[in-house]
Amino acid sequence: MISNHKLTTLLQGRKIVSSASSGGVATIGFDDGSAMTVQTGGSSSSAASGGTVDKVQQEGTTLALVMKDGSTLQITTAEETSSVMVRDKSHGMEYAD
């Protein structure tokens, strides 16, 4: 899988504190108050809270958050692009693809 350098730089070191999936949208909350929203390809598996992001990989419609402990949260996106947004705690846009 190919490294997504922009998302890795942005998310590295952030700890997942919450996750939810509903209606083709997955939302992951981080310990700094930021949130990542992913348009999914239908249902997505729920993420366990507590992992700290080490790197992000992406290939086709597969987005993988690789945690520092080696575990991976894998999400199937609706499309190869235009499926991921990250907003800071003030809801300002940090990343959109």
The DSSP bridge pattern shows strands 35-39 and 93-96 to be unpaired
pLDDT, tens only, 24-62: 899 999 999 999 999 997 655 555 578 999 999 999 999
As for how many domains the chain has, the answer is 1
For residues 17 and 79, give the distance between their C-alpha atoms in angstroms, rounded to a whole number: 26
pTM of the predicted model as reported, rounded to 2 decimal places: 0.89
pLDDT, tens only, 60-86: 999 999 999 999 999 999 988 778 999
pLDDT for 80 equals 84
Domain that holds residue 39: 2-96
For residues 1 and 80, give the distance between their C-alpha atoms in angstroms, rounded to a whole number: 13
Q: Which amino acid is present at 42?
A: G
